[in-house]
Amino acid sequence: MKKVVIIGATSGIGRSLAKQYAARGYQVGVTGRRQELLNSLQQKFPSNILTACFDITSADASEHIEQLVSRLQGMDIFIYNAGYGDTSKPLNWEIENTTISTNVTGFAVACNYAFNYLADKPGGQIVGISSIASIRGSGWAPAYSASKAFMSNYLEGLHLKAKALKTNIAVTDIQPGYVDTSMAKSDRKFWVATPDKAAAEIIDSIDRKKFRVYITRRWALVAYVLRNIPGWYYRKVF
Task: List, by residue number, the catalytic residues.
Answer: 144
Distance CA 183, CA 103 (A): 13
Rounded to the nearest 5 percent, the helix, strand and coil shares of the chain are 50, 15, 35
Kind of pairing between the strands at 124-129 and 3-7 = unpaired
Beta strand ranges found along the chain (DSSP E): 3-7, 27-32, 49-53, 77-80, 124-129, 169-176, 212-215
Q: DSSP of 12-62, one letter per residue? A: HHHHHHHHHHHHTT-EEEEEES-HHHHHHHHHHSTTTEEEEE--TTSTTHH
**Which backbone phi and psi does 98 adopt, to 5 degrees?**
-65, -40
Closest to 195 measured CA to CA, from 11, 7, 2, 72? 11
Residues 111, 157: contact at Cβ < 8 Å?
A: no
Displacement of CA 77 from its chain's centroid (Å): 12
